[in-house]
């Protein structure tokens, strides 16, 4: 089937899940619709009454999300789920576009080097003309096998049951994920102009406004825009202090989008917006729906204030790992996607609060790296997702008994949180050790 037909099928599956969710909500105590969807809808109700969405208790998102689901109140209660599902489908399309661009960029680079060698030995006018055509075009035809690989990678997202369920339950994280992928798409375009880097910065800044996690990608984006390999730390410092025009454009776009949106909503809703949508997430505790390794610690200390030392010790391990991954994979355009995936994976795994919707942060980036896992083998390819889902299931059982049966299963949840944490660490180690930077591209 064509890619368009797969888009239609994956869209219909999501539509079915939305209507199924309405049936389950009406018949079962276990609600299909995410509780956050109801919170955002209530926030939209306050906006419709010309008030602040933050009047709704526990509304801790950008006001843009409340504006986005206003049709829930004007058209249909599930309208927002359809909007989020469209963003979900957009992510699959962006995955294909980004990979095609990566393949095309590599093809142009190889052909350019080949023709350069030929023109050195042969001043044939055809070769010189062909070289100029390649340099001035990024639409060179790709062999079908590479188009097929880009589409298969997109299917890893489009048919992923976890991501489909998260979007159709009414979670809006797919919006921030699509903005991140848009920023990657413009950053890696073949033209490499300052304008495209400025646009990439705009999408990156907007994604940070929606969710704070893309702020961990900023240094990787910045380093991937430099023109040389950074071998030592003082090279990195020099690059930061002496930016090129593309880096300046990237930073300006990011600051403009994030700064203007933050100032606008601060003017509209005051400090409450700043605290609830941003500052709160730095001190947040969640003792009920939390996969985190720190879950039990938060439960036992729920009546105490969070100290500065506790926050430093909590965030220091992931900060160190993010810096290491950024330097290792973030300074090259060819490895940027895997670097961003690894950074997102670390941010979720080591975060004090981990919920199911956070998984889309790195799952949306994983398909961009599939083509580089050449040596992973069938056994590991099956073992990794099976281990990941089993470790989640082991957590969900005692969590269900606590939430719906009232059993005291806190210690069992804590044990499963430890199991889930080390499962994630093992998975990331396996992916890093089997990652191959080479595209294995041959001119057919």
Instruction: Encode pLDDT of 292-340 as tens digits.
Output: 888 877 777 766 776 777 777 888 899 999 999 998 888 888 889 999 9
Q: Of the ranges 296-305, 394-403, 421-430, which is most confident? A: 421-430
pLDDT on residue 6: 94
Whole-number Å distance between alpha carbons of 183 and 203? 5
Residue 143: pLDDT over 80: no
Residue 20: pLDDT over 90: yes
pLDDT on residue 440: 44
Please give the distance of CA 173 from its chain centroid, rounded to a whole number: 9
> Who has greater pLDDT, 315 or 69?
69
pLDDT on residue 442: 40
The mean pLDDT value of the chain amounts to 84
pLDDT on residue 164: 93
Q: What is the DSSP letter of 188?
A: T
Instruction: Encode pLDDT of 158-200 as tens digits.
Output: 999 999 999 999 998 999 999 999 999 999 887 778 899 999 9
Please give the distance of CA 37 from its chain centroid, rounded to a whole number: 20
Q: Of the ranges 27-31, 32-36, 207-211, which is most confident? A: 207-211
Instruction: Encode pLDDT of 349-374 as tens digits.
Output: 998 888 888 999 999 999 999 888 87
Whole-number Å distance between alpha carbons of 167 and 169? 5
Q: Per-residue confidence at 230, pLDDT binned at 50, 70, 90?
A: low
Q: What is the DSSP letter of 140?
A: P
SS3 at position 242: coil
pLDDT on residue 193: 85
pLDDT on residue 202: 96
Least reliable range by pLDDT among 193-202, 378-387, 400-409: 400-409
For the segment 134-153, the average pLDDT, to the nearest whole number, is 71
Residue 232: pLDDT over 80: no
The residue behind tokens 């030995």 is 121
> Who has greater pLDDT, 303 or 102?
102
Residue 145: pLDDT over 90: no
Whole-number Å distance between alpha carbons of 198 and 247? 9
Residue 395: pLDDT over 80: yes
Q: What is the DSSP letter of 216?
A: G
pLDDT on residue 271: 92
For the segment 372-393, the average pLDDT, to the nearest whole number, is 85
Whole-number Å distance between alpha carbons of 386 and 300? 32
């Amino acid at each position: 089937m064509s890619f368009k037909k797969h888009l239609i099928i994956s869209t219909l599956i999501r539509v079915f899940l939305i209507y199924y969710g309405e049936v389950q909500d009406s018949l079962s105590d276990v609600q299909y619709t995410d509780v956050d969807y109801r919170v955002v809808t209530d926030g939209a109700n306050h906006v419709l009454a010309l008030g602040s969405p933050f009047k709704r208790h526990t509304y801790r998102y950008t006001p843009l999300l409340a504006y986005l689901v206003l049709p829930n109140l004007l058209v249909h209660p599930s309208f927002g789920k359809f909007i989020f599902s469209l963003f979900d489908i957009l992510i699959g399309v962006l995955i294909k576009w980004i990979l095609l661009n990566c393949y095309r960029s590599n093809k142009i680079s190889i052909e350019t080097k080949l023709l350069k060698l030929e023109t050195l030995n042969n001043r044939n006018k055809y070769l010189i003309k062909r070289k100029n055509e390649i340099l001035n075009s990024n639409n060179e035809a790709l062999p079908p096998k590479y188009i097929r690989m880009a589409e298969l990678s997109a299917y890893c997202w489009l048919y992923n049951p976890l991501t489909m369920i998260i979007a159709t339950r009414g979670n809006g994280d797919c919006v921030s994920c699509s903005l991140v992928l848009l920023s990657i798409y413009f950053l890696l375009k073949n033209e490499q102009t300052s304008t495209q880097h400025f646009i990439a910065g705009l999408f990156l800044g907007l994604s940070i406004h929606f969710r704070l996690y893309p702020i961990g990608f900023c240094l990787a984006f910045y380093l991937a825009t430099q023109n040389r390999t950074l071998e030592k730390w003082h090279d990195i410092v020099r690059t930061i202090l002496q930016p090129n025009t593309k880096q300046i454009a990237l930073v300006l776009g990011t600051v403009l989008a994030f700064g203007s949106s933050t100032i606008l909503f601060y003017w509209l809703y005051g400090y409450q917006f700043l605290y609830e949508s941003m500052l709160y997430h730095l001190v947040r505790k969640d003792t009920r729906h939390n996969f985190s390794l720190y879950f039990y610690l938060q439960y036992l200390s729920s009546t105490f204030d969070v100290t500065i030392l506790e926050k430093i010790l909590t965030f220091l391990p992931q900060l160190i790992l993010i810096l290491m991954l950024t330097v290792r994979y973030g300074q090259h355009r060819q490895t940027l996607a895997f670097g961003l995936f690894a950074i997102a994976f670390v941010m979720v795994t080591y975060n004090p609060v981990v919920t199911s919707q956070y998984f889309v942060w790195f799952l949306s980036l994983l398909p961009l790296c599939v083509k580089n896992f050449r040596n992973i083998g069938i056994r590991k390819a099956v073992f990794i997702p099976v281990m990941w889902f089993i470790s989640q299931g082991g957590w969900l059982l005692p969590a269900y008994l606590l939430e719906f049966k009232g059993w005291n299963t806190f210690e069992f949840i804590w044990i499963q949180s430890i199991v889930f944490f080390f499962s994630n660490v093992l998975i990331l180690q396996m992916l890093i050790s089997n990652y191959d930077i080479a595209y294995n591209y041959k001119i057919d």
